[in-house]
Structure 1
Amino acid sequence: MPASVVILGGGIIGLSCAFEAASRGKRVTVVEPGAFGGQASGAAAGMLAPYTENPEQPDPFFHLCLDSLRRYPDWIRRVEEASGKRVELLHTGSLTVAMHEADVLPLQTRLAWQREHGAEAELVAGERLRQLEPLLSKQAAAALYCPGESHVHAPKLVVALAEACRKLGVRLLGGAGTIDLTDPGSAGGVAVTTGAYGVVEGDSLLICAGAWACQYAETLGFPVPVHPIRGQICSFDVPFGGVRHMVFSSQAYWVGKMDGALVCGASEDVAGYDASVTERGIGRLVRWGPRLFPFLEGRQPSLSWAGLRPATRDGWPLIGPVPGRPEIVMAAGHYRNGILLSPATAALAADILEGKASAARSAAFAPDRFAQTAGIASL
């Protein structure tokens, strides 16, 4: 029989890994304690912006992000064909705006090295900038225009992935309740004990539990530095096309969706596992908006929400096996880039399970690059 994979976590990363594993002929079960896509995945603005999110240098994380962006068109085609649903992948490009002349130099520095890695970007100002983004404040000094960046409707992508997984035969166990990894399971395999479905067994386990990955890793005697960062986002009712690009500033971003929502984010703070929306967090975004888009003056959001982003100490994800347990692989800690990194993470995790991953890429994101193993417990 085909190898069986149990995936713990039903966010964008868990569902992407399930889709990839099932596409490779594996028998897959996804165990989700709550609702699928209920945390960082469903709250995301869906930006696919490796150049904007990585302004410093072409390190391994940048290359992983860029690889994932290049996978996106074909990956989305596969997801849409399998699910029969559309996820609104929009190739709008991005503008990173400098409001003052002193802020232009960093953009020029970034442009120099990113062009060597396919950015096809340019620094724009004056009339050229007004043509690209007519509603942008005339006080903007310049902007870095990157036409190759895109965005997707994250909640629709989660729904489409779940449906694609179902049609590929993936067993989706939502609302599983409490999760226990201490059951010994079958010889040579793994087992997850759930409050709602009993024991779920498989040949291998993928931990894709986002901000909760640290709790499961600790059960295995393998602590990892993943912690939740609350990201608060709001949206304004603005006709689609009013804001034409993903627009980034030093304090916020704005992304126009086809349903007429201009998404603005993100206000971040450390609040443990509290995903509530605060007046202070949303208020900062509301106050900042008119500085770049004067038409937002006096406007209040039509919707506000929050999600918990899984952060690591260096901002890079944890993708790799638990030391001493090659049948247990982690794919967590994607922080602000879970949507962007979904196809590349899924491919890398599947390669690791099949023993096909390159040593260099695996080492860069190895979960044990921080943690000191204190005796790995048996599942």
Structure 2
Amino acid sequence: MRGPPHTTLRRSGADPGLVACEVPASTDIAIIGGGLIGLSIAWRLARRGLDVTVFERGTIGQGASLAATGMLAAAAELEPGGEEHLPLALESQRLWPGFARELEADSGLGIDYRRDGVLLVALGREEVERLRFRHDMQRRAEVEAAWLGGAQCREREPGLRPSVVAGILCPADHQVDPPRVMAALRRSCLAAGAHLVEACEAEPELAGGRALGVSTPRGLCKAPIVIAAAGAWTRFQGLDIPVRPLKGQSLALRSRPETGTLARVVWTEQVHLAPKSDGTLLVGATMEERGFDDSVTAGGVYALLDGARRALPSIEEMPVEAIWSGFRPTSIDDAPILGETGIAGLLVATGHHRNGYLLAPVTAAAIEQLLVEDRITGPAASFGQARFTPCLEATS
């Protein structure tokens, strides 16, 4: 099932044969949040032999992590002002093939890691100038991006409308299937010895300026290290993390032999279309400042279908299989917040905006390095919470 539990979903990302455990009295590492980021960190740390316990307010492997389309699109996602985030995205993109191989090996499950690239298209002459501006920015950043004419776009994707007049092919941008990734992470965490606690609200237990563990309705779990990785819900008393929910509505269509589908992810100015190996075509996603309002709206669904139809007319014949909404964890600068919080023993990994899947490997590696080497190096070192201190002081 795909998406949050209030919707009709595509398929489950959980592994029903594996049962989560009760709250332990103590653990080496307590992670709050059993989504993509929390499980990625838990898997890497458990592989090191650490005793890791993950606390999830809902169901492990479900929730917001299944609301995504699974794009690993460092080049396609590049926008004005995002140049300083690009090294982190490229580093994580570099890590993804190894991350995927190890995840599939540990879990015995495939994650549908696809290397078909991402195609951005201009629908009509009025969009070409904006697409050309994006391509110029990509060239200055020296990412892989090839300019294509309309005929070249349709050669690669014959189902596109004749009104497609130009495109950019980003061959190094890949994709995975979120339900498969979440099922693999869940199984890999358990195989490595991690403990998973479901339907359990948890908050950092703080005293004397440090974290002592996590408090839950089922009791206290003592831990010298607590990692807050609860996505848009990473807001706890005593922990000032500038992250908010950014709502996104998406839907899944079922392709048929007579309708055909796409070979790769296609982006327009309105939507992105992501084909999956099970025959679904994902259409996403709106960007709405609505707090935690998870309603699926007529306006949101119309915008998605209209945007998809403008690029791929065959969607008119595709059954609608699922509609859902989710909440991107978005920080002040749309970039992740990684590492120390200023409270001893309390770390954070959140704020990944719409790039959670792309940034999962580099996030897990950064937190692992911080715990093993007491530091973060490389591009991830620039994404600590301390960068927000001047902004927070100015608004306090």
Q: TM-score, normalised by structure 1?
A: 0.89
Which of residues 295, 300, 304 is equivalent to 1:281?
300
Indicate the residue corresponding to 1:192 in structure 2.
214
Which of residues 159, 164, 168 is equivalent to 2:183?
159
Number of matched pairs? 364
Indicate the residue corresponding to 2:288 in structure 1.
269
Judging changes above 3 Å, is the alpha-carbon distance between structure 1 residues 98 and 188 closer, same or farther for their aligned structure 2 residues?
closer
- Aligned partners of 2:295 and 2:325 also within 8 Å: yes
The reply to whether residue 209 of structure 1 matches residue 230 of structure 2 is: yes
Percent sequence identity over matched residues?
Answer: 32
- State the distance in 2 between where 1:58 and 1:193 align: 37
Which of residues 54, 59, 77 is equivalent to 1:53?
77
The reply to whether residue 146 of structure 1 matches residue 165 of structure 2 is: no
Q: CA deviation at 1:49?
A: 0.4
Indicate the residue corresponding to 1:31 in structure 2.
55
Q: CA deviation at 1:356?
A: 4.7
- State the distance in 2 between where 1:329 and 1:38 align: 23
Indicate the residue corresponding to 2:337 in structure 1.
318
Instruction: List per-residue Cα deviations over 1:196-254 (Å, max 9, x = no partner).
Output: 3x22122211110101112x2xx12x322211111110011114872111111111110
Query: Superposition pairs for residues 91-130 of structure 1, below 5 Å?
Result: 91-115=115-139, 119-130=143-154
Greater Cα offset, 151-160 or 95-104 = 95-104
Instruction: List per-residue Cα deviations over 1:270-324 (Å, max 9, x = no partner).
Output: 2222223222211211122211112223655221011111111110111120114
Indicate the residue corresponding to 2:10 in structure 1.
none
- State the distance in 1 between where 2:362 and 2:256 align: 33
Instruction: List per-residue Cα deviations over 1:146-186 (Å, max 9, x = no partner).
Output: 1111111101101100100100001111111x32434649x
Query: Superposition pairs for residues 1-379 of structure 1, below 5 Å?
Result: 4-56=28-80, 59-115=83-139, 119-176=143-200, 178-182=201-205, 184=207, 190-196=212-218, 198-214=219-235, 216=236, 219-220=237-238, 222-239=239-256, 242-297=261-316, 301-325=320-344, 327-358=345-376, 361=379, 364-371=382-389
Judging changes above 3 Å, is the alpha-carbon distance between structure 1 residues 259 and 76 closer, same or farther for their aligned structure 2 residues?
same
Structure 1: 5+ residue stretches without partners: 375-379
Judging changes above 3 Å, is the alpha-carbon distance between structure 1 residues 59 and 119 closer, same or farther for their aligned structure 2 residues?
closer
Question: Secondary structure in 1 aligned to 2:356?
Answer: helix
Across the aligned residues of Structure 1 and Structure 2, the Cα RMSD in angstroms comes to: 2.4
- State the distance in 2 between where 1:102 and 1:281 align: 24
- State the distance in 2 between where 1:272 and 1:83 align: 35
- Aligned partners of 1:180 and 1:194 also within 8 Å: yes
Greater Cα offset, 352-361 or 230-239 = 352-361
- State the distance in 2 between where 1:76 and 1:274 align: 33
Question: Secondary structure in 1 aligned to 2:266?
Answer: strand
Q: CA deviation at 1:371?
A: 4.6
Q: TM-score, normalised by structure 2?
A: 0.85
